Amino acid sequence: MRSSSRLACVTLLALGTCAAAAAQLKREMLAYPVSAKPVISIRNQFGRITVSPTSASRVVATVVHSAAVEIRGQQTENRIELTTGLDSNSAAKADNVDYQVLVPPDACVILSTAAGSLVAENLEGDLIFEGTTASVDAHSIRNAHVHVKTLSGPVTLRQVSNGVIDVTTASGDVSLQDVTGPMVEVHSGTGRILYSGDPGDGAYKLVTGTGNIDVFVPFAGQARFKARSVKGKVANAFIASSATIGLGFASTQASALRRAPPAAFDLHSFRGNISVRESSK
């Protein structure tokens, strides 16, 4: 009986603590009217930022946070700045802060966080991501300059069309899936770089210090490949080789190989391995 009583007391105490924590969360909404191509800057050192498009000519940010922080918003003409800061009147410890932000599709968006995640989707304006351990995920992006700089957070770019891409990370893995553009450049110190998809007619420069580089394209004739690893291995017969006709490719692929491939890959690693393969059907 005593054990049951103690268990009941502990359960009630836990439920009470959870309820109290939930009660301390605040849901705050900030809205700003904007004109074409606004600039939106969000700095949230405590958690997540997700940015999606809206057809309205305004920026709407819904922020869920504890009493330990305050959300500071400022508008100067067509520029919006949102910042998460500590509430000087609260003794509570800062917890995760969650931003859900709606912006016009043509907005220039600047996102920064130490940890947590940065997500942008279905946008057409320029994007700048800055993070320490934060993950970065940008998908369904069109006609944009995308700049990413992280220390160790993973970077994923998906369905990015006609983009100018610049990614720099010290140790984060970088995944490019169905990314096309006139210039795509990725530098990672120790992380892996993965490219998968149809490269179109772009120029791709992928560089690592000790990480591996893996490239998957539908067939070899879609791109020219230049690859070098100082201490690692380079694997695939059609890298830096034009003698690939007759190696089992379909007739249409063989015809493509006789023409100058529209895309170019420049792959460099110091210690990592480099692999270029045909993607599985």
pLDDT digits (tens, 9 = 90+) for 126-151: 999 999 999 999 999 999 999 999 99
Same domain, 209 and 281: yes
Share of the chain above pLDDT 70, in %: 80
Most confident of 20-29, 64-73, 229-238: 64-73
- What letter would DSSP give residue 262? S
Tell me, yes or no, whether 55 and 114 share the same domain: yes
Q: Are residues 173 and 126 in the same domain?
A: no
Any domain includes 47? yes
Query: Is 278 within the bounds of a domain?
Result: yes
Indicate whether 97 and 45 sit together in one domain.
yes
Same-domain pairing of 184 and 101: no
| pLDDT category of residue 279 using cuts at 50, 70 and 90 | confident
Kindly state whether residues 216 and 274 are assigned to the same domain.
yes
Provide the 8-state DSSP code for 81.
E
The amino acid at residue 197 is G
Whether residue 259 lies inside any domain: the answer is yes
Domain count, the chain: 2
Question: What pLDDT shows up at residue 88?
Answer: 56
Residue 139 in any domain: the answer is no
- Do 105 and 171 fall into the same domain? no
Residue 246 has pLDDT above 70, yes or no: no
Is 165 inside any structural domain?
yes
Closest CA to 168 of 195, 146, 140, 199: 146
Q: What is the pLDDT of residue 151?
A: 96
Quick one: 199 and 278 in the same domain? yes
**Domain check: are 158 and 281 in the same one?**
yes
**CB-count burial class (<10 Å; 0-12, 13-18, 19+) for 241:** exposed
Residue 140 counted as domain residue: no
pTM, entire model: 0.83
Domain residues for 174? Answer: 154-281
Both 125 and 159 in a single domain?
no
| Residues 120 and 180 placed together within one structural domain of the fold | no
Which of 147, 157, 154 minimizes the C-alpha distance to 170?
Answer: 154
Same structural domain for residues 173 and 275? yes
Q: d(Cα 42, Cα 134) in Å, to the nearest integer?
A: 14
